Each structure stands twice: as C-alpha cells, then as structure tokens.
Amino acid sequence: MTQIAFIGGGNMATSIIGGLIREGAVSPDLIHVSDPGAEQRERLTRDFGIVTHESNLDAISSATVVILAVKPQMMKAVLEPLQATLNTRQPLLISVAAGISLPTLKEWSGCTAVVRAMPNTPALTGFGATGLFASEEVSLDQRNLTDTLLGATGLAMWVQTEAEIDAVTALSGSGPAYYFLLMESMIDAGIKLGLSEETARRLTLQTALGAGKMASSSDVAPDELRRRVTSPGGTTEQAIATFEGAHLRDIVKAAMDAAARRAAELSDELGNG
Ligand SMILES: NC(=O)C1=CN([C@@H]2O[C@H](COP(=O)(O)OP(=O)(O)OC[C@H]3O[C@@H](n4cnc5c(N)ncnc54)[C@H](OP(=O)(O)O)[C@@H]3O)[C@@H](O)[C@H]2O)C=CC1
Ligand SMILES: O=C(O)[C@@H]1CCC=N1
C-alpha cells in the first residue's frame, strides 16, 4: 500500500488530507504528517486519525509519495536535511508550493520524479480544483497515482507547460479567496440594506452555493446564466451596470495578473539560492 507523507500540516495539507479521508481514498494509518507545531499535530490526529511526527525525516522514512506543503520561503531549509534520504529512496515528490520550479525542486530534493500541484482549499469538501505538471521522469503509474490522490479531492487537470502552473495559481489556487471576498462584500452590503447579520450571511452563502452548482452542472455558459437573471429594466440590470461601470472585469484581470506575477517573482527570488 502507498504510504503518503505530508511535510507541513497547515491549511493546504489539512484540506487535502480531509478530502482524501472524506472520499476514503487513503486509509488514515497510511497518511503521515510532520509539522513543528504540537497543537497542529494534535488537531490532525484528533480530526483525521492520521499519524503525525515532529521530525520530517521520520515522516518520509517509509513513504512512496512525499507531499511538500510548507510555505515557499521555507522549502529550501526543509529539503536540505532530507536530501540524502530522498535521493536514496526516490519517492514521488509532489510540491503544492506556489512559485518553486521543477528544476529547483529537483536540485533541492535530489528527487527526479517531481510533480508540481496547485490545489485549493475546497479540496476539504471534495470540490477542490488542482492543476498538475510533471517532470519527464514521472512514470505513467506515478501520474495515475497523482490523479487518484488529487482527483479524490475534486477536479485534477494536467497542464501542458510548467508556466501554466502560475496561471492556475492565479485562477483556482488563489481563486477561493476571490469568492470569499465577494461573499464578505455581499454580507456587509446586505446588512447595510437592513438585513440581520444571520439573514445576510445565510442568503449570501446559499446564493454562492446555488450559483456555483448551477454553473457547474449546466451546459449553459455563465454569461447566458447571468442574462437569465437580468430582466430588462429590472433590478439586476442596475447592479450589473454598476459592476461594469467600475470595470469589474479589468479589476479581476489586474488581480489575477498580480497573483501570477507574484508566483513568477517567488520563483526568481527563491529559485537561485
Ligand atoms: N492555502 C492555500 O489556499 C494554498 C496554499 N498552497 C501552497 O501550500 C503551501 C502551504 O501553504 P499553507 O498550507 O497555506 O501554509 P500554512 O502556514 O498553513 O502551512 C504550512 C505548515 O508548515 C509548517 N512548517 C513550518 N516549518 C516547517 C518545517 N521545517 N517542517 C515541516 N513543517 C513546517 C507550518 O508550521 P508553523 O505554522 O508552526 O510555521 C505550517 O503548519 C504553500 O507553499 C502554498 O503556496 C497552494 C495552494 C493553495
Ligand atoms: O497565497 C498563496 O501564495 C497561496 C498559493 C495559492 C493560494 N494560496
């Protein structure tokens, strides 16, 4: 059986682990996580029944798949003491870190079969979205294993070039935060229009869920679904005109450009050392 080690047990690792266990994709005793935080480790054991370690070396000692889920800025320091073991054992290495390139990951880890994955936190619910890109040394079996693991947390898609991972980061990696910001804004505006906090929150969340479900389960494109809500001379028309007048599309484009640019910057900042 495949033993999986997560290095770093924070937000993204927790979401993937939760998704894997929720779907029954991996038995909890085959998931090992290392994290320096005692509270973090206790939470992971309590919530998921997985095996936790303070030492990263202990976590990877029998793993066939090692998932790197630490901040990009920590990656070099985390991999340095693991390099000899990883180089000898050659597990499939999957990094979820933004902006750390495959050549850099290979150099720092001593692994050849390396996958860059860009997941998102809705993985926890089974509705994650992940972009994947593999080094050429990744075998078909390892690709299939990657598909099985990340596919258990939602949609998993291979992209054609490594550069696309920065675009995926700007779109679906960071994307949940964009929707959460819109939700926050709608709740605040609903309260200002006279609703109670609870009413504004529950109606906002249900509307987000309904719109997401409708758009993803329908063959009808989002622009047509939007038109179907927008009665001529009605209320939605006024709201949409306000969004368009404030150049919402340009704002979204600028925001995603900034996120993708930051991913590339991280690669430049962290990749040379
Ligand atoms: N959050 C997200 O939505 C997404 C994140 N990612 C990527 O996932 C990675 C992790 O991000 P995220 O989960 O948000 O960050 P978190 O800070 O929540 O998780 C990182 C975890 O790693 C721990 N850690 C720190 N140092 C070490 C070490 N030496 N060895 C092992 N673990 C260590 C941290 O502990 P402590 O807190 O005590 O320092 C923390 O618990 C990043 O590279 C990010 O780019 C990718 C897609 C989406
Ligand atoms: O903000 C970040 O850098 C990470 C990567 C994508 C989502 N969170």
- Which CATH number goes with the domain that contains 19? 3.40.50.720
Q: Give φ, ψ of 112 to 5 degrees.
A: -105, -40
Best of 169, 261, 267 for a ligand 2 pocket test (most atoms within 8 Å of beta carbon) = 169
**Residue 163 lies in domain:** 4-167
Q: Inform me whether the pLDDT recorded for 92 exceeds 50.
A: yes
Q: Are 32 and 9 in contact (CB under 8 A)?
A: no
pLDDT tens figures, 159-181: 999 999 999 999 999 999 999 99
Q: What is the pLDDT of residue 271?
A: 79
In the prediction, which pLDDT does 188 show? 98
pLDDT mean over 170-196: 98
b/e sequence 194-222, b meaning 16+ C-beta within 10 Å: ebeeeebbeebeeeeeeeeeeeeeeeeee
Residue 195 confidence (pLDDT): 98
- Does 272 reside within a domain? no
pLDDT of 190 strictly over 50:
yes
12: how many CB neighbours lie within 10 A of its CB?
Answer: 25
Task: Give residues (CB < 6 A) around ligand 2.
Answer: 98, 169, 173-174
How much is the average pLDDT of 144-167?
Answer: 97
Neighbouring residues of 135: CB distance < 8 A, sequence distance ≥ 6: 102, 106, 112, 113, 114, 115
Same domain, yes or no: 32 and 96 = yes
For residue 82, the model assigns a pLDDT of: 98
Q: Is 149 in the pocket of ligand 1 (CB under 6 A)?
A: no
Query: Is residue 273 included in any domain, yes or no?
Result: no
Q: Which atom of ligand 1 is nearest to the CA of 74?
A: 26
> What is the mean pLDDT of the segment spanning 70-86?
97
Q: Whose CA is nearest to atom 7 of ligand 2?
A: 174
Percent of the chain with pLDDT over 70: 99
CA–centroid distance, 177 to ligand 1, in Å, is 16
Instruction: Look at residue 73 and tell me if it is in a domain.
Output: yes
Q: Is residue 34 part of a domain?
A: yes
Q: How far apart are CA 204 and CA 33, in angstroms?
A: 35
pLDDT (mean) for 218-241: 97
Looking at the structure, do residues 109 and 197 belong to the same domain, yes or no? no
pLDDT above 50: residue 182: yes
Judged against a pLDDT cut of 70, whether residue 202 lies above it is answered with: yes
Give me the percent of the chain exceeding a pLDDT of 90.
Answer: 97
pLDDT attached to residue 100: 96
Ligand 1 close to Cβ of residue 128 (< 6 A): no
Helix (H, G, I), strand (E, B) or coil at 53: strand
* Position 7 pLDDT exceeds 70: yes
Whether 212 shows a pLDDT value over 80: the answer reads: yes
What whole-number distance in Å separates Cα of residue 251 and Cα of residue 172? 17
Cα Rg, the chain, nearest whole Å: 21
66, 263 in Cβ contact below 8 A?
no
At residue 273, does pLDDT exceed 50? no
Can you say whether the dihedral through the CA atoms of 53, 144, 156, 219 is positive or negative?
Answer: negative
pLDDT at 226 over 90: yes
pLDDT at 272: 52
Q: Residue 268 falls within a domain, yes or no?
A: no
* Boundary of a domain, candidates 120, 149, 167: 167
* Whether 163 and 181 share a structural domain: no
Q: Both 52 and 184 in a single domain?
A: no
Q: Where are the alpha helices (DSSP H) in the chain?
A: 11-22, 38-48, 56-60, 75-79, 83-89, 102-109, 140-151, 164-168, 175-192, 197-217, 222-229, 235-245, 248-271
In the beta sheet, which residues pair with residue 154? 128
Q: What is the chain's mean pLDDT, rounded?
A: 97
> Is 40 part of a structural domain of the chain?
yes
pTM confidence score = 0.96
107-128 pLDDT per residue, tens? 999 999 999 999 999 999 999 9
In a domain, 252, yes or no: yes
Distance CA 42, CA 116 (A): 28
Same-domain check for residues 135 and 82: yes
Reported ipTM: the value is 0.99
CATH number, residue 221: 1.10.3730.10
3 state SS of 25: coil
In a domain, 125, yes or no: yes
Based on the structure, what is the number of domains in the chain? 2
